[in-house]
Structure formats: C-alpha cells, structure tokens
C-alpha cells in the first residue's frame, strides 16, 4: 500500500519506538505522531502505566493543550482488551510496564495496528530499562531522541538523579533529574563517591 503525501495513510501493522533520556522530547514526539494519525482520520488512543500520575489521569498533556485521550493501565495485557478497534496505539512511559508488553506490541502489529511506544531507554544509572531494550530489538523503526547536557551543552546520554534515593521508579521532574552527557555524568558520579 502506498503512503499519501503526509505519510499517514493506513499502513500494515508496525512497531515504532521513540526512546531517550528524560527531557528529550519523547512524549512530544509520540503526541506529534498521534496527532498526524488523528488528522488522517485514524482511531488513536494512548495508554500509559497507571503509576504515572504526574499529569491528568485522562489525558496525555501536551504544551498546546491539544491533548489526546489516554487510558491508565495496570499491566500490558489490558492494552489488547482495550485497543480492539484502534488503528494507532500509543504507549507512553512504557519503561514502567511489564515485559509482557513486547508480546502485546507484536500481537497488535500482527493484527495490523500501528504501535508507537515511547519510553526511557535507560534508568538513572544507565541500565537498560524494563521492556524498552527488547522493544527496540523487535521494532520496525527506532528513534532515539536526546536531551541537552545541562553542564556543557552537548548531547545528553543519561538522566542523572539529583536526589539521594535508590528506588528505580521515582517519578520526577526538573528538580530530581538532570540530563548529562557521558563525560559530565562520569564526573558527577565521581564527585558523589568522594
Ligand atoms: Zn556534558
């Protein structure tokens, strides 16, 4: 099937992953793609883990207030039940979902659904996060987005945690994390140890 000029015509099922550190614009990119699909009269819906309650329960909020409905879910299995008549399924903050998400995305894509997954590729220690690495492996297309290092202005690589807390899941905003490049991250870690 050929694409139309804006590239949003119905296409066979596929998996797209948008990953990167915090403040890299993952959610913005997810919403951008979802909006284009919506303009093309596709049925779209975003799912996100129920634990991410930083924004409104019902909507993924974007900066221009033009939000797309989102549904909080407890586990990846819920997506299969809730997305039965959806053309384009978006999944935000996917790093917090269980590893079953990999099979769920495959199943949806096999059914002809376009799946767009956004999530953190690494946790605050630089360790691959949840189902994202496996999703990158099976995806048709992976987009890695980058924040800017707050220390030196080069491309950031990790979301360095500023508060002293070893929990892997710590929902944060600008006070708790800073994007750092590899070099500045190494320096920061050394300083914390000394
Ligand atoms: Zn730097």
What does the alpha-carbon distance between residue 38 and residue 60 come to, in Å, rounded to a whole number? Answer: 15
141 C-alpha to center of ligand 1: Å? Answer: 28
110 C-alpha to center of ligand 1: Å? Answer: 41
- Which element (helix H / strand E) includes 149? none
Q: Which of 68, 74, 34 is nearest to 50 (CA)?
A: 74
Single pTM value for the model? 0.84
Q: Is 149 annotated as a binding residue?
A: yes
What does the alpha-carbon distance between residue 94 and residue 14 come to, in Å, rounded to a whole number? Answer: 17
189 C-alpha to center of ligand 1: Å? Answer: 13
Active site residues: 93
Q: Report the chain's C-alpha Rg in angstroms.
A: 17
Per residue in 141-194, pLDDT (tens digit) is 999 999 999 999 999 999 998 877 676 666 655 568 899 999 999 999 998 887
**Strand ranges, E, within 29-73:** 44-49, 59-60, 68-73
Q: Is 26 annotated as a binding residue?
A: yes
Q: Alpha helix locations (H) across 88-127?
A: 101-110
Whether residue 139 is predicted with pLDDT greater than 90 in this model: the reply is yes
Q: Which of 104, 110, 96 is nearest to 170 (CA)?
A: 96
Range name among 16-25, 49-58, 87-96, 122-131 with the lowest pLDDT average: 49-58
Q: DSSP letter at 148?
A: B
What does the alpha-carbon distance between residue 18 and residue 34 come to, in Å, rounded to a whole number? Answer: 12
């Amino acid at each position: 099937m050929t694409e139309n000029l804006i590239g949003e015509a119905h296409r066979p099922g596929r998996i797209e992953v948008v990953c990167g550190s915090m403040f890299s614009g993952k959610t913005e990119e997810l919403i951008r793609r979802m909006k284009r699909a919506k303009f093309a009269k596709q049925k779209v819906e975003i799912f996100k883990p129920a634990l991410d309650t930083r924004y409104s329960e019902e909507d993924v909020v974007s900066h221009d207030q033009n939000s797309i409905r989102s549904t909080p879910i407890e586990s990846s299995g819920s997506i299969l039940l809730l997305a039965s008549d959806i053309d384009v399924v978006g999944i935000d903050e996917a790093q917090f979902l269980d590893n079953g998400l990999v099979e769920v995305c495959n199943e949806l894509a096999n059914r002809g659904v376009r799946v767009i997954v956004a999530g953190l590729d690494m946790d605050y220690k630089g360790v691959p996060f949840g189902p994202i690495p496996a999703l990158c492996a099976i995806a048709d297309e992976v987009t890695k987005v980058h924040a800017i290092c707050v220390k030196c202005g080069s491309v950031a690589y990790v979301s360095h945690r500023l508060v002293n807390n070893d929990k892997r899941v710590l929902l944060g905003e600008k006070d708790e994390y800073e994007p750092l490049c590899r070099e500045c991250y190494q320096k920061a870690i050394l300083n914390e140890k000394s």
